Amino acid sequence: MRRNLRWAAAGLVTAVAFAIPTWLCGAVFLPSMVTDDAVRWSLSSALGVVLATLAVAWGQGFATRARQEDPPSDGPVTASGERSIAVKGNPAGNVSTGDSGTRNTPARPETAAPAAPAPDSPQPEPEPGPGSVTASGERSIAINGNPGGTVSTGDQFGADPA
């Protein structure tokens, strides 16, 4: 349940915890025992305030409690791609696969290393099971949970050195 809805529910419970006991005591239970209206409604209101105070204490805890997340399942965690990240759970900080503040300049064609030969047939990747976390692409991110910070797969460059 979202936080705003929890606050609304807590406020509604508080209002009901005040209104219903106050009305029941003032209009139903106390008229036969207390004949003075001012005294009767004062006692009823005091009881309503006590019960509403308890409801406020409950409501504040209910509205501000941390959201209960589904626990991560027991599947495998795999990060097979180059510069890939696979996380099971809820990472609290930032997650990034890119460079921060530096630029990797590509090698000139005359000094570049020869390309690796392509494999004859691609190896099929195993089918991920339930609860698994897999990041298999280059600079990919897979998270089974809710990240607490930013998630970035791109390079973040500083000023251009040219």
pLDDT in tens, 73-103: 567 777 777 777 877 777 777 777 776 555 5
Which residue, 58, 47, 53, is CA-closest to 22? 47
Please give the pLDDT value at position 92: 74
155 Cβ contact list (under 8 Å, min separation 6): 98, 99, 103, 104
- Placement of tokens 């965690």 in the chain: 77
Q: For residue 149, how many other CB atoms are within 10 A of its CB? A: 11
What band does 160 get if pLDDT is binned at 50, 70 and 90?
A: low
Count of positions (residues) in the chain = 162
Q: Which amino acid is at 137?
A: G
Domain assignments of the chain as residue spans, ordered by start: 3-64, 71-103+130-144
143 Cβ contact list (under 8 Å, min separation 6): 86, 87, 91, 95, 133, 151
Give the integer Cα–Cα distance in Å for 98 and 107.
Answer: 18
The mean-pLDDT minimum among 47-61, 85-99, 102-116 falls in: 102-116
Please give the pLDDT value at position 49: 97
- Statement: residue 112 has pLDDT above 50: no
Containing 74, the helix (H) or strand (E) segment is: none
Please give the pLDDT value at position 158: 58
Q: Rounding to the nearest 10 degrees, give the CA dihedral for residues 33, 37, 40, 46.
A: 180
Please give the pLDDT value at position 46: 97
